[in-house]
Amino acid sequence: MNTPNHSPVGILAVQGDFELHAKMLERIGAPWTLVKHASDLEDVGGLIMPGGESTTMLKFFAQEGIGPAIAEFAEQGKPVFGTCAGAILLAKEVLKPPQESLGLLDVGIERNAYGRQIDSSVRRGDCPELADYPVQMVFIRAPIIRRVGDGVRVLGRSDGLPVLVEQGNILAATFHPELTEDETIHRYFLKKVSH
């Protein structure tokens, strides 16, 4: 669909833990750049939307026109990877409470769904197409994907729940792959970017 591209991967840097994604890409040796304004998207081949607070990020989206620019970017077939809050922003449906989102990924996702008492946890999950061992996954005030649309592939599960999903050029994780040493998930996304 896209011509092979060597443009850097953009990391949305309006709020959240974008720096750790940059560190991960640095370690892998993949070029990256921070995306702070809608116009920054013109120069990137893919986009990572980090974890943080989806409500705060939405405020920036409204102010800066970043939301519509990301939607347009994704509609052109360019790869977008949302982690945690990023996944919430990509979802078609945000539950409990309902919240605005970009609607680019056909899932229903519930925010802070592991309960207030579990602020964060480290679990293991299976991503059979990506790794032949249980992948370490860090969840921080994580959402749970409650509904998976027909066109969405589940690439990873933990405790029976979908935690890594893909719909065409859109990839989303409810955990934080940038918080472990394991490069698998980022490498998988980078393959999508270079195709």
Which CB sits closer to ligand GLN, 51 or 162? 51
Q: Are strands 80-83 and 170-173 parallel, antiparallel or unpaired?
A: parallel
Output DSSP code: residue 195.
-
d(CA 127, CA 111): 22
Q: Which residues contact 17 (CB under 8 A, 6 or more apart)?
A: 50, 51, 52, 176, 178, 179
Minimum CB distance to ligand GLN, residue 140 (Å) = 4
CA 82 to chain centre: 1
The answer to whether residue 85 forms part of the interface with ligand GLN (CB under 6 A) is: yes
The answer to whether residue 102 forms part of the interface with ligand GLN (CB under 6 A) is: no
Residue 53 appears among annotated catalytic residues = no
Q: Which residues contact 175 (CB under 8 A, 6 or more apart)?
A: 83, 84, 123, 125, 137, 138, 139, 142, 158, 163, 164
Residue 100 appears among annotated catalytic residues = no
Output DSSP code: residue 64.
H
Catalytic, out of 21, 110, 127, 176: 176
The answer to whether residue 52 forms part of the interface with ligand GLN (CB under 6 A) is: yes
Q: Binding-site residue total for ligand GLN (CB under 6 A)?
A: 11
Q: Are strands 9-12 and 32-35 parallel, antiparallel or unpaired?
A: parallel
Among 10, 45, 46, 51, binds ligand GLN (CB under 6 A): 51
Question: Length of the chain in residues, anyone?
Answer: 195
Minimum CB distance to ligand GLN, residue 166 (Å) = 19
Residue 6 appears among annotated catalytic residues = no
The answer to whether residue 84 forms part of the interface with ligand GLN (CB under 6 A) is: yes
The answer to whether residue 53 forms part of the interface with ligand GLN (CB under 6 A) is: yes
The answer to whether residue 141 forms part of the interface with ligand GLN (CB under 6 A) is: yes
Report the amino acid identity of residue 143: P
Among 112, 136, 184, 194, binds ligand GLN (CB under 6 A): 112
Minimum CB distance to ligand GLN, residue 182 (Å) = 17
Q: Which residues bind ligand GLN (CB under 6 A)?
A: 51-54, 84-85, 88, 111-112, 140-141
Active site residues: 84, 176, 178
